[in-house]
Structure 1
Amino acid sequence: MKYLFLLLFVSLSYSSYAQTVLKGVVVEQETNKPVPAASVFLNNTSVGTTTNGQGYFELTMPSGKFDLIVSSIGFETHNQTISANEIALPLTIKLQPKVKALETVVVEPFIKDGWEQWGRLFLESFIGTSSFANNCLIKNTNVIKFRHSKKDNVLTAIALEPLIIENKALGYTIRYQLENFTYQFKERFIFYQGYPFFEPMKGGAAREKRWARNRKEAYEGSALHFMRSIYRNTVVEEGFTMNHLKKVTNAEKQRVKELYKKATQSTQSGNTTLKINGISTNPDSSHYYSTVMRQADGFDVISKTPLIGDSVAFAIDSITAGLSFTDYLLIVYKKKEAPVEYQKLFPDAGKAMVSQITLLNNDLIAIEANGAYYNPADLMNSGFWAWSEKMATMLPFDYKLPPTD
């Protein structure tokens, strides 16, 4: 199976306990002039507002730690980690002007007609290819600009303005401040970083019921669901199994590769003979080397006994859990099968929702009660979550499951 790797940066948290009114003013860094109509929101939530004509804002925030995002066209995005119990009010937020010369002689210029060339790849990588993606639309694709490095075989994209995304499948209008998008073709590695603000759509009873059903479907088995179960130590009850996974390099294949690199090949009677250290190998040896070269570059060694939550998670403090492990975690959600779209795209993966996660820097992940975790840039998904964790299925941190009947 060919894995798609996804590194998604959506940052910190939102909680639902005691609330505080956050007050402040947004001004220009150089002139201290107020910035009207700036977006002020808690990252990856539906809690936000805009500044008035004097740059003033108020919003109701919960207790706990989260990212406060402030954005306005023509300015660098402001990202400030704050805690309701520690922050001094009112806030004064100073925005830095963006560099106007986005395309200089030093920076590779944007691709002309970039959306026509790379728009489909961007949508599949960012919005996804799930059934929900069919009802998820970026309204202002014209603000997305692309650069393609043929030397490094890497595609990058930026957005000159926040992306306006209508997700009619889940019932959200999302204002997404895209900071970085990178697709590495050779490794099939996606990284995108940004700050989403969710605004629930309004509709009649039938639409609200459909949105609630689709949100529940997107939630069950998701990374958000898993992180919440880790926090509550209900991994098994929620339908997940975890196993330790170690990727072992195929040492024999690596050895044969090195021999092939050093080998000289000559043609005798129409047949190719492999010579190692100047000595021709016999047919049995050649067959053996060919067999080894067809093997996988490595093997997955999976623990026989599933892990329990306490073996990888612990309390950092009274409101934060820590997730720490070595190598990889193999995570299976057992309460439903993978969507048909995933099975068609990855037929070798089978019907199970199987994901792998690894800590890139061996740093623990801190998890809040709502499933938000940080630093998300330290966690990489592969397998099912690399396919599923896209904008078409993304839920805000303040999402709550509907009550059961």
Structure 2
Amino acid sequence: MHLKKTFRAIIIFKLKLLAACCIIILSLSLSVFNCFAQSNYTISGAVSDENKKPIADAIIFVDGSEIVTTTDNFGRYKLNVPGLGSYTISVKMMGYDGLTKDVMLKTRAMTLDLSLTLHSVLLDEVKIGVDKKWQSDYELFKTQFLGSTPNAKACEIVNPEVLSFKMDKSLFTARANDILVIVNPHLGYRIKYMLKYFRFSQKIIGTMLHVETSYDGNTVFEELQGTNDQKQEWVKNRALAYRGSMVHFMRSVFSRRLLEEGFIVTQLSGDGNAYDDNKPVNFDTLETSRNQAFVTFRSTGLHITYNVEASLKLAEQKGNAISRKDKITNDVVLKYHSYLLPGEKQIVVDARGRTSVGYIQAFDIKGDWSNQRLADQVPFEYSPPVSNIK
């Protein structure tokens, strides 16, 4: 009798153990399925020429990301993107003009067909040799395009021969007849940049020298191969490039964590330069709509200070108790001052900090952000390391 009870108990125990294992396996399967489903967002379509003929081997990429693919023999492509949001899709093929399309992904899948036109080669795009004038123009372009930060000075443009320059009175312009390839050894990226336009001008107005640089294009990032020591250095440098950047700011707008992330935002008054960091604006009052994927706010003149210590003090004064684990790492002190002047009337921002029309179209940017150029950018998929402050 005792043996039967023991045997029955063992069977019951094994059945319970089997049931528990099944539940765990089912839970893990559902978790994996949910993770996959949540990241299963696609933009797909076909690329053709003006005569509707498919174009094979065209390069398709999501601007500002590491997402890139090529078309198949039928001109078809498919891009897997992180989720709902704003995207700029770019296509490049030798012999055709580059093309970009701004889209807003509001469902899991979108079809986007693209048509390319043949490229007309202009005479001034053809250079024979490199003279001193071209070299001096190139140095000017590099400084204004990449910036003057340590990251910028370390960058190398691999194919400068695709560039041509023109000076018309006080306006200096640059054009590229192919994708620019830039290596950024400080951040660990190879960048491919499809330049749309580049303009630089400087002129004296009254007694002041006014300098203005503007350019636009589409970017795709590739990870460089490196040693473990190099990769650790890249992690640190990327975090420094991200902190206080415009992408960091826009993500903080979306998450409603401006003060917690180190940003003090005040509205400009008077002549457009006056501000008071002790009176931060309640950004919620600028919002006009919000959902899980997008937030829309009214564009107005803003001054943005990035100063972690000062912003956390303000947050605590306003009664926002911030636990130590919520405070971002500030082992290197960064302090930035920037101005956002109205461009578009309404700005739509997604969770990754991307705006529907791009920063250049959305705002007139001045101050420190205007000096952070291509060499200080990270892909929009970038996530900063988790704070180690306890």
May I ask how many residue pairs the two structures share in their alignment? Answer: 315
Choose which of 140, 152, 161 in structure 2 pairs with 1:142.
161
Residue 318 of structure 1, CA deviation: 3.5
197, 212, 235: which one pairs with 1:189? 212
**Pairwise mapping of residues 88-167 of structure 1 onto structure 2 (< 5 A)?**
91-101=112-122, 103=124, 115-150=134-169, 153-167=170-184
- Deviations along 1:45-86, one digit per CA (max 9) or x if unpaired, are 111112234433333223323121111122122222334455
* 2:369 corresponding residue in structure 1: 385
Q: How far is 1:36 from its partner?
A: 2.9
Judge conservation of contact 2:267–2:275 (CA < 8 Å) in 1: yes
Asked if structure 2 preserves the Cα contact closer than 8 Å seen for 1:360 and 1:379, the reply is yes
Residue type at the aligned position of 2:237: N
Which whole-Å CA distance do the structure 2 matches of 1:88 and 1:353 have between them?
39
Specify the alignment match of 1:33 in structure 2.
53
Indicate the SS of the match to 1:121: helix
- Distance in 2, matches of 1:76 and 1:174, equals 20
1:243 touches 1:302 (CA, 8 Å); kept in 2? yes
Look up the SS of the partner of 1:300 in the other structure.
Answer: coil
Q: Distance in 1 between matches of 2:115 and 2:374?
A: 30
> After the TM superposition, which segments of 4 or more aligned residues of structure 1 sit over 6 Å from their partners?
none
What is the TM-score with the length of structure 2 in the denominator? Answer: 0.74
Pair 1:207–1:183, CA change in 2 (3 A) = same
| Distance across 2 between alignment mates of 1:22 and 1:302 | 43
Structure 1 match to 2:381: 398
Q: Secondary structure at the match of 2:78?
A: strand
Pairing partner for 1:368 from 350, 361, 369: 350
Matched, 1:300 2:300: no
Give SS of 1:124's match. helix
- 1:61·1:84 contact (CA, 8 Å) conserved in 2? no
SS in 1 for 2:339: strand
Task: Tell me how far 1:100 sits from its aligned partner.
Answer: 2.8
- Report the counterpart of residue 46 of structure 1 in structure 2: 66
**Residue in structure 2 matching 1:243, options 248, 254, 266:** 266
CA-based RMSD of the aligned residues comes to 2.6
Is residue 46–residue 112 contact of structure 2 (8 Å, CA) maintained in 1? Answer: yes
Change (3 A) 1:197 1:101: same
Give 1:197's aligned amino acid: V
- CA shift for structure 1 position 183: 1.0
Change (3 A) 1:58 1:127: same
Q: Tell me which residue corresponds to 2:89.
A: 68
Structure 1 residues 99, 209: closer, same or farther in 2, change over 3 A?
Answer: same
Distance 1:39 1:190, change over 3 A: same
CA deviations 1:368-401 (Å, max 9, x no partner) are: 100111323130211111112x111111111111
**Within the alignment, does 1:324 sit opposite 2:298 as a pair?**
yes
CA distance in 1, matches of 2:265, 2:109: 42
**Mapped contact 2:42–2:108 kept (Cα < 8 A):** no
Matches within 5 A, 1:262-277: none
Is contact 1:22-1:90 (8 Å) kept?
A: yes
TM-score (norm 1): 0.71
Gaps of 5+ in 1: 1-15, 105-110, 249-298, 338-350
Cα distance in structure 2, aligned partners of 1:199 and 1:323? 33
Alignment correspondent of 2:28? none
> How far, CA to CA, are the matches of 1:18 and 1:88 in structure 2?
11
Q: Could you say which residue in structure 2 is the equivalent of 1:217?
A: 240
Q: 2:187 is matched by which residue type in structure 1?
A: L
Contact 2:40–2:81, Cα closer than 8 Å, also in 1: yes
Change (3 A) 1:308 1:115: farther
What corresponds to 1:172 in structure 2? Answer: 189
User: Contact 1:22–1:58 (CA<8 Å) still a contact in 2?
Assistant: yes
* CA–CA separation in structure 1 for the residues paired with 2:257 and 2:55: 45
Distance 2:292 2:113 in 1: 30
Deviations along 1:107-150, one digit per CA (max 9) or x if unpaired, are xxxx9765313122211111111111122111111111111111
Give me the whole-angstrom Cα distance separating, in 1, the residues matched to 2:190 and 2:251: 24
1:242–1:329 Cα contact (<8 Å) kept: yes
Distance 1:369 1:207 in 2: 30
Cα distance in 2, alignment partners of residues 243 and 198 from structure 1: 34
- 2:100 maps to a residue whose letter is N
Contact 2:41 2:108 in 1 (8 A): no
- Give how far 1:102 is off: 5.3
**CA distance 1:83–1:367, shift in 2 (3 Å):** closer
179 and 114 in structure 1: CA distance in 2 versus 1, 3 angstrom threshold: farther
The answer as to whether partners of 1:235 and 1:308 remain within 8 angstroms in 2 is: no
Shift of the 91–301 alpha-carbon distance from structure 1 to 2, 3 Å rule, reads closer
Residue pair 2:147, 2:371 contacting (<8 A) in 1 also? yes
**Which structure is higher in RCO with an 8 Å CA cutoff and minimum separation 6?**
1
Helix, strand or coil at the partner of 2:79: strand
Choose between structure 1 and 2: higher strand proportion: 1
Aligned equivalent of 2:39: 18
What 5-or-longer segments of structure 2 have no aligned partner?
1-36, 204-209, 311-333
Q: Sequence identity of aligned pairs in percent?
A: 26
Q: Is the 8 A contact 1:63 1:83 kept in 2?
A: no
Contact 2:179–2:192 (CA under 8 A) maintained in structure 1: yes
In 1, distance between residues paired with 2:222 and 2:83? 21
